[in-house]
Copies of this chain bind each other. A is one copy, B any other.
Amino acid sequence: MSFKINSKVAACGGQFLKLSHQSNVTKCSMDVNVYLPRQYFQRKDEKNNQGAKKQIPTIYYLSGLTCTPQNASEKAFWQIQADKFGFAMVFPDTSPRGDVIPGDPEKSWDFGLGAGFYINATKVPFNKNYKMYDYVHKELPMELSNYFNENLIDFIDNVSITGHSMGGFGAISGFLQNLNKYKSCSAFAPILNPLNVPWGQKAFNGYFNDANLEGGKHDPTELIQSTKYLSTKEILIHIGTNDPFLKNQLKPELFLDKVKGTEWESHIDLEMVEGFDHSYYFISSFVPQHAEFHAKHLGLLN
């Protein structure tokens, strides 16, 4: 399947492509934004003259509850960092969408549309479309790689993952399940122990036939105990001390408790930052640090 370009928007030294495509996995049309950094356009020019160089790596950004690909594109301000270090950004949607997709955001903003939780649902009726795990970690990278077939951007191998809140959960969960795929992982105010908080329980009970068993395979606090540390891998996390969801939904203390004593302990940097909340003001404030962290792992600082 191919992509439809809904718009091209110049930003900083590069360009946002606002795309949509028919997904075989979620069985609906999916929106996705891609930021092509200035290096992409430079190499495109060079390539015509001089041939290929090392490919531009990609960072996948998973958004939080209720978001579309637009929110982070407009407010997280990754583009200036992408231009600085030379990586592409991919902003997927947070769920399948459309009139025929189950889930009613007017009744429930934290489940269903805009709240896919980056897992593969097994429970009827969500198991037909809510396959965001396969979509984000498998289909989307392949489709982007096929579409941008000039070999200028690496969407599959030299890639990292990050996200916010529900997307921070999705990033850490997806990273720990795909350590050979992602070079590094970071998260802004992630839901770290969904099995034990209202947002996570509602999602896992709604999407899974067996919330504890199936959800446990995605829960970062469970995974960090069962996933063997792999050399060079690191996780960077920021959480604001004024985040209104800190105590009831994020649970960094439960995660850190399970990290303690594992090989991961010295490779996870969880920073509580004084006064910050859960908003894009918080995210955009720490994007420069996350960008540099990923740039190091993607080989861009050499």
Contact = CB atoms under 8 A, between A and B. Distances in A.
Nearest to A13: B285
A281 B11 contact: yes
A282 interface: yes
A242 interface: yes
B9 A281 contact: yes
Contact of A77 (B240, B242, B282, B284): B284
Copies in the complex: 2
Nearest to A76: B77
A74 B75 CA distance: 6
Interface in A225-254: 240, 242
A139 interface: no
Q: How big is chain A's contact interface, by range?
A: 20 to 34
A16 interface: yes
A277 B242 contact: no
A52 interface: no
Contacts of A279: 9
A79 B284 CA distance: 10
Contact of A281 (B16, B281, B282): B16
A124 interface: no
A126 interface: no
Contacts of A79: 281, 285
A86 B15 CA distance: 30
A276 interface: yes
A6 B280 CA distance: 18
Contacts of A284: 11-12, 77
A277 B75 contact: no
Contact of A10 (B15, B77, B281): B281
A12 B275 CA distance: 11
Contacts of A75: 74-75
Given A77-B284, A79-B281, 15 more contacts: A9-B281, A10-B274, A10-B275, A10-B276, A10-B277, A10-B285, A11-B281, A11-B282, A11-B284, A11-B285, A12-B284, A12-B285, A74-B280, A74-B281, A79-B285
25 contacts: A9-B279, A9-B281, A10-B240, A10-B242, A10-B274, A10-B277, A10-B281, A10-B282, A10-B285, A11-B281, A11-B282, A11-B285, A12-B284, A12-B285, A15-B275, A16-B281, A74-B74, A74-B75, A74-B280, A74-B281, A75-B75, A77-B77, A77-B284, A79-B281, A79-B285
